[in-house]
């Protein structure tokens, strides 16, 4: 898997359009930051008088699982970021930490997308599409391998489902 990840990263980041794609990817990646999900959850809680409180409670439970799990996995596995492991690559942004597996941005995006899909099915395609774009942006920025994204998506979806079960 590491060999396939390395080949994919080298191919993507050595394309002539890599820098241009990285500018757009940087904007998309910001959707994976925590403040966006807090604001979205508060808006849903405020405007949806019937289901907003349950959505917010479920989101809090899911993120209470996801955040320590992704941090713990990163420190347990300690997979170096692509630019740290491959001299021929350089990242387009400075990541918040040293390790890449799993992608925390992708995990957070998939928690939110999964919960939105369950609570508000009409937005499923948009929510999942944005989550996939957040994950892809992390690869295009050179801070994650494709398998980091797959692991983050799996972690985020799983935490959302456990959060639904708990609440």
Distance CA 141, CA 123 (A): 27
- What's the confidence (pLDDT) of residue 57? 96
Return left, alpha or beta for 56; rule: phi > 0 is left, psi -120 to 50 is alpha, else beta: alpha
The DSSP bridge partners found for residue 80 are 99
144 a catalytic residue? yes
The CATH number linked to 81 is: 1.20.144.10
Contact 32, 138 (CB under 8 A): yes
Contact 70, 152 (CB under 8 A): yes
Helix, strand, coil % over all residues of the chain, rounded to 5: 75, 0, 20
Tally of domains within the chain: 1
- What's the confidence (pLDDT) of residue 88? 63
- What's the confidence (pLDDT) of residue 46? 94
- What's the confidence (pLDDT) of residue 89? 65
- What's the confidence (pLDDT) of residue 13? 64
Return left, alpha or beta for 78; rule: phi > 0 is left, psi -120 to 50 is alpha, else beta: left
- Domain containing 11 equals 2-166
Contact 25, 141 (CB under 8 A): yes
Tell me which DSSP letter residue 96 carries: S
Cis peptide bond prior to 102, omega within 30° of 0: yes
**Catalytic, out of 116, 117, 144, 151:** 144
**Catalytic, out of 79, 81, 105, 138:** 105
- What's the confidence (pLDDT) of residue 30? 76
- What's the confidence (pLDDT) of residue 41? 94
- What's the confidence (pLDDT) of residue 81? 81
Instruction: List phi, psi (to 5°) of 99.
Output: -110, 155
- What's the confidence (pLDDT) of residue 153? 97
Our measurement of the distance from residue 36's CA atom to the centroid of its chain's CA atoms, rounded to an integer in Å, reads 12
- What's the confidence (pLDDT) of residue 137? 87
- What's the confidence (pLDDT) of residue 150? 95
Contact 103, 135 (CB under 8 A): yes
* Tens-binned pLDDT, residue by residue, of the chain (167 aa): 567 777 676 666 666 676 677 777 777 777 777 888 999 999 999 999 899 999 999 999 999 999 999 999 999 999 888 877 666 666 666 777 788 889 999 999 999 999 999 999 999 999 999 999 999 888 888 888 899 999 999 999 999 999 999 98
């Amino acid at each position: 898997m590491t060999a396939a990840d390395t080949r994919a990263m080298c191919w993507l980041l050595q394309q002539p359009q890599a820098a241009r794609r990285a500018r757009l990817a940087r904007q998309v990646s910001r959707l994976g930051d925590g403040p966006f999900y807090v604001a979205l959850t508060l808006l849903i809680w405020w405007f949806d008088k019937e289901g907003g409180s349950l959505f917010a409670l479920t989101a809090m439970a899911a993120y209470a699982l996801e955040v320590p799990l992704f941090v713990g996995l990163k420190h347990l596995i300690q997979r170096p970021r692509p630019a740290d492991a491959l001299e021929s690559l350089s990242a387009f942004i400075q990541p918040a930490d040293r390790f890449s597996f799993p992608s925390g941005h992708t995990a957070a995006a998939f928690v939110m997308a999964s919960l939105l899909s369950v609570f508000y099915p009409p937005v499923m395609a948009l929510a999942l599409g944005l989550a996939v774009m957040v994950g892809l942006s992390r690869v295009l920025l050179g801070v994650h391998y494709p398998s980091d994204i797959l692991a983050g998506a799996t972690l985020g979806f799983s935490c959302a489902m456990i959060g639904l079960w708990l609440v």
